[in-house]
Structure 1
Amino acid sequence: MPRRTDSEGAGRTIALGWSESPDTDPPPTASAPSAGRALSAGGAPSGEGGPRAERRRSLVLGGAIVLVLALVLVLPPVLLGGAGAERAVEQYLDAVVAGDAETVREHAVPVDEALDIALTDGVLQGARDRVSGYTIDEMRVDGDSAVADVTLTGGDRELESTLSLERRRDGLLRRPVWELQPVNLPVVRLNVPAGSAQLEVNGQMLEIPARSRPQEQFAFGEITLQVLPGTYEVRAPQSGDLFAPRTAEVSAPPVLGLWNSALVPVSSALTDAGVQEAIAQLRSSLRDCARSRSPAPSDCPIIAPPEVTERGVWTITSTPEFELVEDMEGYSIFRARVSAEFAVPGAEGDEEEVHEVEADVPAVAVADRDGVLHAHWYSPATVEEE
């Protein structure tokens, strides 16, 4: 018996003459599936469009995505070399130009004794002649280290600075990231009134930490501040009606690196009320001197001639004259003109000896750490009262 192959079609049905009319068409028959295409369980043909093929396509697509990501993350640093380091420098210098205090603080080298209280947006952005532009002159990359030579422009000056960077590798892919090394900022030195708890810089009131406040009893004490390049206006805070704060200016050149200013005094001048208070204290002191019986009262401007050693009586013979000669940084200098007599009783039956004294002496007024004004004679007598 001959064997039928898969390539042969289905046999044709032979009509039986006695059951159907010869003119009737035969009923349609279902065709068999072609070779190589089996029906799936759901009736759809399997092969290129089946689940196995879909999985293969998903795997290929996923691998392509991973490859693209790897190229995006890893290849640019390899191809660009120092471009990543240069971008890190640009980002920092852009922050310097903008007066971005947060970024500046983040990269600043801490300095012993120097305070960072002036590194605020208000202070930095209020400075005159601040850094307005920069150029990156050269980038030198050596392995995982880099050095940038830059030129900063501030006001009408241009100065060079050097910034250092290190490359570290982060994440699962060990992606290289350039990181700016800590930057030295200019430091300004200020001589502020003793005991100052606050300082006004560019219109911003700054709190001086208790540990850094000048501990001197009188006059001044030094503090230091980290700043960006620029010119800063500094004032002592208002303290009562006897003093009027002066405005001092301190400028840092357009440079990022080790730089210290000269010592700049931040002081107050005596107001008219302050001058009158100082003169009132000197008058009171002079009255105390006149009550002394010593020829050279302690801490007084009136002194009898050196040959006079006996005790006697002082009399102020005219109204003392006072003049403010100079309002210095932290001190106010007065000149006093005093006319007085010192009478020494004579021996029994003798007349008293009267010695006339003309004094033209300086006096000084200064505030203590609590803001209290003190006036005293600049050249008091050194002979103690008996």
Structure 2
Amino acid sequence: MTDAPDDSRGWESVPGADTLRGDRALPAVMTAGPTASAPGYAAGRPRRGLRKGAVIGIVAGAAALVLLVVAGGIGWSVGSDSHSADRPVQAFLQDVEGGRLTDALDAAGIDRDDDDVLLTDAAYAQANDKITAHRITSVDQGDDRATVHALLTQAGRSVPATFELERTGTDWGVFPVWELQPPSLGSVEVVVQGPTDSTVRVAGAEATTGELGAVALRAFPGSYEVSSEGGKWFAADASTAAVRGFGTPGTPVVLATTLTDAGQQAATKAVDSWVDGCVAAQTATPDGCSFYAYGENPANTYTNQKWTLDTRPSVGVGDWSSRGWLVETRAPGSATFTAEFTGPSGRGTATAGPIDVNASGWITGFGDDGATFVPAVANGQTDSGS
């Protein structure tokens, strides 16, 4: 310790608060420049900046990485979208809406045979009320199977439809490949109240009815004009068969037939021919006829047996029934039977009648020779005899 004054600046060197005002300069102690560095510490050196090429390389690499990530994301999104299970359904429905039925059938794997006369571009072009638009409503996609639900626009109405798909493999080992399974088609069902093997015309295509007078034809959604070709014998008013969506059974269209003038004349001729055949029989009990004679004596021998038609029955031909066009006897005819006999009592002439002649039955069809008549009763069955 010394008595010399301490030159070190302490708190007493800090100016008082009352001396610090905005119009006065700061004391020198507060504005002094930096002192020399303390021993052992070197003055700081300035940092070296990155070279221009390095900066460009880093920026380019980062940009490339970003582009790669973005491109990868876009590629994945596009690939996933293009391999979605609804894609085959979209393509199938677009072909149907565009009238490209052959392409639609091939895409869906729908097999055809000779009876599928409506599964052609030409037939479908004749249809009305076809699908005009569609909207996918949901996709239920599993590992190997998928179900796609859609709403079809048909004749101004929304019609639901369901499509099934199966996974058949992958593209690039990542994206699934889906195959549309053949959807169930609707059908045009026609019943002709006429003979078996009647010709039916649907949307310009021809088909033939079966044993029950019916025919069913697979068809895509739409409405189809239906008619029956009876030639000169009978006719039927045209009708329309509607096929709504996929897999929906159609409501049978019934074509009621009526005989033409030529058909009526042929039917009457067939009935008359049957009556004449019965009258021409040289027996008391003509086979397959509606009249007969009985009461003969088994001890006698009968010869020159003969039927004579006194009046011809009056008949009318009505609508088709389950067995044919119904023939009704409006007024019965009459016939008389005569025969010569010999026996224990001698010789003589036997007579029977007049006997009613009925001609009820059915006209079952037409051929080159005219109409075919089948009688409703034969001898011995609820008919008159004498």
Instruction: Report the TM-score range of the alignment, normalised by the length of the smaller protein.
Output: 0.5 to 0.7
* Residue equivalent to 2:202: 201
In structure 2, distance between residues paired with 1:362 and 1:377: 6
Matches within 5 A, 1:115-134: 115-134=115-134
Match of 1:334 among 327, 336, 342: 327
In structure 1, distance between residues paired with 2:322 and 2:149: 41
Q: Please say if residues 74 and 175 of structure 1, whose CA atoms lie closer than 8 Å, have aligned partners that are also in contact.
A: no
In structure 2, distance between residues paired with 1:351 and 1:238: 51
* Residue equivalent to 1:44: none
Match of 1:291 among 276, 280, 292: 280
Does 2:244 correspond to 1:253? Answer: yes
* Residue equivalent to 2:160: 160
Structure 2 unmatched ranges of 5 or more:
1-63, 382-386
CA 298–371 in structure 1, closer or farther in 2 if over 3 Å, else same: closer
Match of 1:364 among 362, 372, 375: 362
Please state how far the C-alpha of 1:297 moved relative to its aligned partner: 0.7
Does 2:219 correspond to 1:227? Answer: yes
Q: Which one-letter code corresponds to 2:76 in the other structure?
A: L
Please state how far the C-alpha of 1:166 moved relative to its aligned partner: 3.7
In structure 2, distance between residues paired with 1:303 and 1:261: 50
CA 290–74 in structure 1, closer or farther in 2 if over 3 Å, else same: same
Render the CA deviation track for 1:258-311: whole Å, top value 9, x for unaligned.
x4346655675421112111211221221221122323211222233x546786
Does 2:80 correspond to 1:91? Answer: no
Matches within 5 A, 1:24-173: 74-78=75-79, 80=81, 84-107=84-107, 110=110, 115-143=115-143, 145-155=145-155, 158-168=158-168
Q: TM-score scaled by structure 2?
A: 0.63
User: Over aligned residues, Cα RMSD in angstroms?
Assistant: 4.2
Q: Which has the larger radius of gyration?
A: 2
The alignment partner of 1:92 has SS state of helix
CA 297–372 in structure 1, closer or farther in 2 if over 3 Å, else same: same
Please state how far the C-alpha of 1:130 moved relative to its aligned partner: 3.3
Deviates more, 1:327-336 or 1:343-352: 343-352
Q: Which one-letter code corresponds to 1:121 in the other structure?
A: D
* Residue equivalent to 1:321: 314
Render the CA deviation track for 1:223-279: whole Å, top value 9, x for unaligned.
43211233323233453x22335535433333x23x434665567542111211121
Please state how far the C-alpha of 1:124 moved relative to its aligned partner: 2.5
In structure 2, distance between residues paired with 1:115 and 1:308: 59
CA 235–341 in structure 1, closer or farther in 2 if over 3 Å, else same: same
Q: Please say if residues 299 and 382 of structure 1, whose CA atoms lie closer than 8 Å, have aligned partners that are also in contact.
A: no
Does 2:234 correspond to 1:243? Answer: yes
* Residue equivalent to 1:187: 187
How many residues are paired up? Answer: 305
Please state how far the C-alpha of 1:317 moved relative to its aligned partner: 0.9
Q: State, as a whole percentage, how many aligned pairs show the same letter.
A: 23
CA 371–281 in structure 1, closer or farther in 2 if over 3 Å, else same: closer
Please state how far the C-alpha of 1:80 moved relative to its aligned partner: 3.8
The alignment partner of 1:105 has SS state of helix
* Residue equivalent to 2:6: none
* Residue equivalent to 1:377: 375
Q: Please say if residues 298 and 381 of structure 1, whose CA atoms lie closer than 8 Å, have aligned partners that are also in contact.
A: yes
In structure 2, distance between residues paired with 1:127 and 1:371: 37
* Residue equivalent to 2:338: 343
